[in-house]
Amino acid sequence: MAQITAALVRDLREKTGAGMMDCKKALTEAGGDVETAVDWLRKKGLAAAAKKAGRAAAEGLVALQVDGPRGALVEVNSETDFVARNETFQGFAGAVAKLALDAAGDVEKLSGTAYPGASHTVSDELTNLIAKIGENINLRRTAALSVTEGVVAGYVHNQAVPGAGKIGVLLGLESSAAPDQLLGLGKQLAMHVAAAQPRYLSVDEVDETALNREREVLSEQARASGKPEEIIAKMVEGRLRKFYEEVVMLEQTYVIDGETKVAKAVEAAAKEIGAPITVKGFVRFGLGEGVERREDDFAEEVAKLAG
């Protein structure tokens, strides 16, 4: 049998755009002949799926799964919102979210996990889904959150089906209180994260580089006032507090009542329950964050068709 070299795999990938493992398997089946391997991929629908993989996918669903003290999020992207309303696509997103509970936030591990009710992996099921639906579909990312004692609460905004929508949030509460005493607070805090979009949990977690950059900008703004340096220093500290109130969850104003700091709201809830409560962390996925979206001008398309 011909040796399947890295150069052969690369050549086949360039020709078809198929995944590395699919190319290696195709070459093995074809005895190392690239053209035969191309045909093998085409027959399996993998080459056709690969061609679609170059198209922008920024729609889709964020799916969430919670199981007591742990939870997981996945983002599965499609090219159009129409596909996100497809029951098969929704079923795939939900099934993958359940599997993500054991993937520890590793998307590669999740892709290689056996897909339920099938003799292949999540990655293979994704390829089948692309061929069936006819759009580029991408398992973009996953995240997991767990607590030692307490609960992980979840919230989905703009829910398309139970557990999947446009925004998904996981939030962990560490406490010895009973789970049913914590879940209401956890969901409200998760709703806050969905709305307020904090970047950090606490002041201690603020990235030092981001903080120094903000301090530098605020210092230059304050110096423009012409005030003495000691006054400028106080102005900067005051403005930094405002910065923390914008990006740090525990320093933000709680969206549920519009006036209390989140940290104070958690303290009040702990006092009412009769047990300490600590917010251990949160994860927020907004659909298509950071993905370049294709902007189609429908009127322009019609004009072109009209000649």
Torsion sign over Cα 269, 271, 277, 279: positive
Q: 305 falls in which pLDDT band (50, 70, 90)? A: very low
Angle at 68 between CA 63 and CA 69, to 5 degrees: 95
257 or 290, which is more confident = 257
Q: Taking Cα atoms as reference points, which of 74, 47, 17 lies closest to residue 131?
A: 47
Question: 6-52: which CATH architecture?
Answer: Orthogonal Bundle (1.10)
Percentage of residues of the chain with pLDDT beyond 90: 58
- The neighbouring-strand residues paired with 167 are 157, 286
Q: What is the pLDDT of residues 27-38, one digit of tens each?
A: 999 998 888 888
Residue type, 210: A
Q: Which CATH number fits domain 59-201+257-286: 3.40.50.1970, 3.30.260.10, 3.40.50.1950, 3.30.479.20?
A: 3.30.479.20
CATH, domain range 207-247: 1.10.286
Q: 64 falls in which pLDDT band (50, 70, 90)? A: very high
pLDDT score at 253:
96
pLDDT score at 7:
81
Burial of residue 140, with CB atoms counted within 10 A of its CB: 0-12 exposed, 13-18 middle, 19 or more buried = buried
- The structural domains of the chain, with segments of one domain joined by +, span 6-52, 59-201+257-286, 207-247
Same CATH topology for 6-52 and 207-247?
no
Which residues in the chain belong to E strands, given as ranges?
59-67, 70-78, 137-146, 150-157, 164-165, 167-174, 278-286
Q: What is the pLDDT of residues 95-153, one digit of tens each?
A: 999 999 999 999 999 999 999 999 999 999 999 999 888 888 999 999 999 999 999 99
Which residues in 121-268 belong to E strands, given as ranges?
137-146, 150-157, 164-165, 167-174
Over residues 217-234, mean pLDDT = 79
Highest mean pLDDT among 55-69, 74-88, 162-176, 239-253: 162-176
- Mean pLDDT across the chain, nearest whole number? 87
Q: Residue 209 pLDDT > 80, yes or no?
A: yes
47 or 307, which is more confident = 47
Contacts 24+ apart (CB under 8 A), 79-87: 79/55, 79/135, 79/136, 79/294, 80/135, 83/59, 83/133, 83/135, 83/137, 84/59, 84/60, 84/160, 85/160, 86/133
Q: 47 falls in which pLDDT band (50, 70, 90)? A: low
pLDDT score at 298:
44
Least confident of 154-163, 230-239, 257-266: 230-239
Over residues 13-23, mean pLDDT = 74
Buried-state track 186-222, b at ≥16 Cβ within 10 A, e below 16: bbbbbbbbbebebebbeeeebeeeebeebeeebbeeb
